[in-house]
Amino acid sequence: MFSSPAYAQATGAGSTAAGIVSILPLVLIFVVFYFLMIRPQQKRMKSLQDAVKAVKKNDTVITAGGLIGKVTKVDETEVEIELGPNVKVRAVKSTLAEVRPLGAKPAND
């Protein structure tokens, strides 16, 4: 029933190492997620934000709603998009999902 002090000290040191070893897989999983998912997504978002800030007249844009059109006017927070002949809409810049510069090669070619 009673344990000696030497035995108690030995089990205390072992439990600390076991605790570290049990947390190690969780840390490893977080590191893998960071490099495979979080970091690339942050890079994509940064490049999209830069493209939206640099949008200019005659660029082709795709909105988050799926509308594709040509930019005819750019304001500080909004863009005017021509969807077809005599069809123009205004959209908030933050709703742009993709910006294709004038003369850019289509993705499927």
Q: What is the pLDDT of residues 51-105, one digit of tens each?
A: 999 999 999 999 999 999 999 999 999 999 999 999 999 999 999 999 988 766 6
pTM beyond 0.95: no
The domain ranges of the chain are 1-53, 56-100
State the burial class of residue 77 (Cβ atoms within 10 Å of its Cβ: 0-12, 13-18, 19+): exposed
Q: Which residues contact 53 (CB under 8 A, 6 or more apart)?
A: 93
Q: With contact defined as beta carbons under 8 Å apart, do 93 and 77 qualify?
A: yes
- CA-closest candidate to residue 70, choices 47, 108, 99: 99
Q: Hey, what CATH topology would domain 56-100 get?
A: SH3 type barrels. (2.30.30)
